[in-house]
Structure 1
Amino acid sequence: RALACDMRVIGYDPLVGSAAVLDGAVRLVNDVDELLTASDCVTLHAKITENTKGMLNAERIGRMKRSAVVVNCARGELIDEAALAAALNEGRLAGAAVDVYSQEPPKGNPLLTAKNVVLSPHLGASTEEAQVAVSVEAADALLDYLVRGEIRSAVNVVGLPAQFNERDRAYLDLCMRMGSILSPWCAKGIERLQVTTRGEGIDQLCRTLARQCSVSLLTPHIGVRLNLVNAASITRERGIQVDAVAHAATRNYAETVTLVIETRDGRHEIEGTVFVDGRPRVLAIDGYRMEMAPERALVLIFNDDRPGVIGSVGQLFGDAGINIADMTLSRRDRTALMLLKLDQAPGDAVLKQLVALDAIQSVQSVLLVPLEKMDR
């Protein structure tokens, strides 16, 4: 709609690797701050995650033009509402249009009494145009299936196909866990992912495993509900290259799956397998060899390989009352990887203390489904 009004449109999406979208009509910038300083009208279209909550805060509002306006029809918690109200009342922003709120109904919300603001009661999809668009989209989706055999946004085929056996399901579960472990590194965008299978037993499953990895890698970062049906089209739309490579030959294990991702910050890799008991195992992360069942709260710690680090980490979790259920260590050159399985997820305060420890290079945490729940 903005393009139809001859507006120059720019955008920011950390998960799109190209320089432009919509056939070059919308130029993509490198970060949110660049977008805010250049825009006369800022519209938000993101889901709520740890990275997006409060993304438009007082500091970022201060970077915007005094003549700019803000439109939020996405999620209320994307904006620091008190900071937005203050900017409007003080004339540091020209106006705002808001359809969503951090708490609904917005009783006591500072935007209710702010100047130069248009408020609506979360009715963004209830226009005549929107209802027509939904009807047309439903008809198009039905025609895609009847005429071309394509399924889009299906709600009744998100599970596994009936022809998958228990071993196939176990490898899909493994890839879900492997993708979740690497997912925090995708927060600033992913350009490419490759799934490589080794072993004749899973070579025919390779492309499906690549889709499963796409789902678990991207789900925390985008506002679209991903599944095995729509994963390929979503990654294609976002310019993410997905490769599936199957090898019959194996190395140390009968069957293995390797997931490699290339992000704006670098390359990461994880390797796993399913043992004869049907349970998944992680065999390596970024070249650090190990063997651990991926489940529950996991913390990945890259640190300088020197004495005293393990003790400092153990003491920190002990002081926080968090029990370490399992631990595996791996060393390469002068760096070590410590993979911890905890009885409970550490809070942000504990993770900040962990990062602040001497010799700690980086920390990632992820919460996975317990394996016993998958057995039921």
Structure 2
Amino acid sequence: MNQYKVLVLDPISEDGIKELLDHPNYEVDIKTGLSEAEMLDIVHDYHAMIVRSQTTVTEEIIQYARSLKVIARAGVGVDNIDIDAATKYGVIVVNAPDGNTISATEHTMAMMLALTREIPAAHKELSEGVWNRKAYKGTEMYGKTLGIIGVGKIGFGVARRAQSFGMKIIAFDPYLSEEKAKEADIEKMEVEDIAEHADFVTVHTPLTPQTKGIVGKAFFEAAKPELKIVNVARGGIIDEAALLEALDEGQISGAALDVFEEEPPTNQKLLNHPRIVVTPHLGASTVEAQEKVAISVSREIINILENNTIVHAVNAPRMSENINEELKPFINISSHMGEVAIQLMNRPPLEIKLKYHGDLALDDTSILTRSFVANMLKPHLGENVNIINALYLLQEQDVTYKVEKKGQTHGYSNYLEAELINNDEKLTIGASVLNGYGERIVKINGFQVDIKPTKHLLFINHLDRPGIIGEMGHTLGKYDINIASMQLGRKDEGGAALLSLRLDQSVNDEAIEELTKIEGFHKVKQVDLS
């Protein structure tokens, strides 16, 4: 029977780690408030660590902890853990993303109520001896429209509670299906439509390049003047500079912020604004939430060390040396396929079909499936997605997937293809790894192509006509964008065609808008690969 040692470095609910404390295979040492030097003296023989936000786990600590298999963060954020170093040394980092769902949901409602009834200002004035009933005239939430941006577990929780207040719910989430929205009595809308129709808005998305500043200047310009907005998710989803300007200009009436672009925040104008309610990142700060996250990471430690089962990893451990050598080149191309596919679609898929052909079909292709899905999900779910948790997160988004394997390859010794389907569109992308030439995307929506994945790609669907490529080249040249290579895929002369370009620079929005005005161009999509 294996014996494992667990080191708890920050104050943790003992009820939360009871499973570890009572387990006969585990020796648990609780040693909080240690300096890095003190940690280095003792970490060498521990198999798992549990931290919250106080302790910083550095590369040196990870390197010294020769037996370490798991670092568990009893919470969501892992900024205090050197993820790259953990991955480098094969240590799995896990968190507890679901433990604070109820707490964050309730804090959102508390912030909405505090904002709409001006509770903080009224409390402050009365506590200073001023009885001033006339100064505080709130508004009811009943009958108002709440816009929710990001409808995961917390977003749905807020929707249900707001509905009990008699609010109408409108929402945006790229993975929210019509069926799921209808079942929850939610009306799907785009972000710009939410700005126009909502009386309240609350955001519940990860912070990604797609969501950073999603509520910004254009949003506030379209909003009702009585709009009140709440952020208990991540700082940066709401553009703080644009928020201050909107409040000062009377474009919206108030905001409640629990999270900030910089934490602790130093922008005193933001913190002291008379129409902003602020709290110091308290969304997960309840007794119950802290117990839940401790229970979650305790169980995950046991599952990892005893069953090799991982659910909430935030890094991908080093790949096994036992992976078939012939399979390794396909890991990159499957990752790139996921990145390309999701950027070519207007909306995320509801269904995925993955097909493996040729010699590839004889191997265990699960890592290729995970690589494809992880990179497809990252633009919307953030960098925490990896090959370990990709399929779990895909299931959470209600996206189904199916894998098919066939021996026939249609001219390639190995070939993989993905079909992504939603209610409005279907995308097919095929790829192979060619001897002497490396990875290639060879098919997009029925067009035969030959694309080596590079950082900046541009895809243009158009009707083929004389002179159209010259107009495109002139436009790109006008914006100092150099074409590294270009390929035209078409089926018939003068018919539908696909231009695929490798570029040396990214294309800005202004250039893309000008390209779309070229006669015959009807879909221009830029794809940037990590």
TM-score, length-scaled by structure 1 = 0.84
The 1:359–1:10 alpha-carbon spacing in structure 2 relative to 1, beyond 3 Å, is: closer
Query: Which residue of structure 2 lines up, in the alignment, with residue 344 of structure 1?
Result: 505
Distance 1:94 1:215 in 2: 40
State the SS of the aligned residue for 1:317: helix
Query: Which residue of structure 2 lines up, in the alignment, with residue 167 of structure 1?
Result: 326
Pick which of 39-48 and 322-331 moved more: 39-48
**Which deviations, in whole Å up to 9, do the C-alpha atoms of 1:162-207 show, x marking residues without a partner?**
3213321111111111111112134533211111111133343344
Q: Is 1:234 aligned with 2:367?
A: no
State the SS of the aligned residue for 1:190: coil
Query: Which residue of structure 2 lines up, in the alignment, with residue 318 of structure 1?
Result: 477
Q: How many residues align?
A: 368
State the SS of the aligned residue for 1:78: coil
Distance 1:49 1:253 in 2: 37
Residues 447 and 491 in structure 2, CA contact (< 8 A), matched pair in contact too = yes
What are the ranges of 5 or more consecutive residues in structure 2 without an aligned counterpart?
1-105, 107-157
The 1:75–1:352 alpha-carbon spacing in structure 2 relative to 1, beyond 3 Å, is: farther
Distance 1:315 1:116 in 2: 50
Q: Is 1:286 aligned with 2:449?
A: no
The 1:321–1:10 alpha-carbon spacing in structure 2 relative to 1, beyond 3 Å, is: closer
Distance 2:386 2:237 in 1: 25
Residues 186 and 217 in structure 1, CA contact (< 8 A), matched pair in contact too = no
Query: Which residue of structure 1 lines up, in the alignment, with residue 177 of structure 2?
Result: 17
Distance 1:187 1:54 in 2: 20
Query: Which residue of structure 2 lines up, in the alignment, with residue 373 of structure 1?
Result: none
Distance 1:308 1:136 in 2: 65
Distance 1:258 1:152 in 2: 27
Q: 2:377 aligned to 206, 218, 233, which one?
A: 218
Q: Is 1:191 aligned with 2:335?
A: no
Of the two, which has the highest radius of gyration? 2
Query: Superposition RMSD on alpha carbons, in Å?
Result: 3.2
Q: 2:522 aligned to 345, 354, 361, which one?
A: 361
Q: Is 1:308 aligned with 2:467?
A: yes
Pick which of 292-301 and 24-33 moved more: 24-33
What are the ranges of 5 or more consecutive residues in structure 1 without an aligned counterpart?
370-376
The 1:303–1:250 alpha-carbon spacing in structure 2 relative to 1, beyond 3 Å, is: same
State the SS of the aligned residue for 2:435: coil
Residues 316 and 354 in structure 1, CA contact (< 8 A), matched pair in contact too = yes
State the SS of the aligned residue for 1:352: helix
Query: Which residue of structure 2 lines up, in the alignment, with residue 253 of structure 1?
Result: 412
State the SS of the aligned residue for 2:388: coil
Offset, 1:288: 0.8
**Which deviations, in whole Å up to 9, do the C-alpha atoms of 1:83-110 show, x marking residues without a partner?**
5445556777554211233455655565
TM-score, length-scaled by structure 2 = 0.61
State the SS of the aligned residue for 1:310: helix
**Which deviations, in whole Å up to 9, do the C-alpha atoms of 1:43-74 show, x marking residues without a partner?**
21123445433332455446666665322122
Distance 1:113 1:272 in 2: 55
The 1:162–1:362 alpha-carbon spacing in structure 2 relative to 1, beyond 3 Å, is: same
Offset, 1:154: 2.4
Offset, 1:139: 1.7
State the SS of the aligned residue for 1:167: coil
Distance 1:276 1:91 in 2: 63
Code of the residue aligned with 2:353 in structure 1: it is: Q
Offset, 1:331: 0.9
Offset, 1:123: 5.2
Distance 2:249 2:509 in 1: 34
State the SS of the aligned residue for 1:151: coil
Query: Which residue of structure 2 lines up, in the alignment, with residue 335 of structure 1?
Result: 496
The 1:278–1:246 alpha-carbon spacing in structure 2 relative to 1, beyond 3 Å, is: farther
Residues 199 and 228 in structure 2, CA contact (< 8 A), matched pair in contact too = yes
Once the two structures are superposed, the pairs formed by residues 13-92 of structure 1 within 5 Å of their partners are: 13-17=173-177, 19-20=179-180, 27=186, 29-32=188-191, 41-57=200-216, 60-61=219-220, 69-85=228-244, 88=247
State the SS of the aligned residue for 1:351: helix
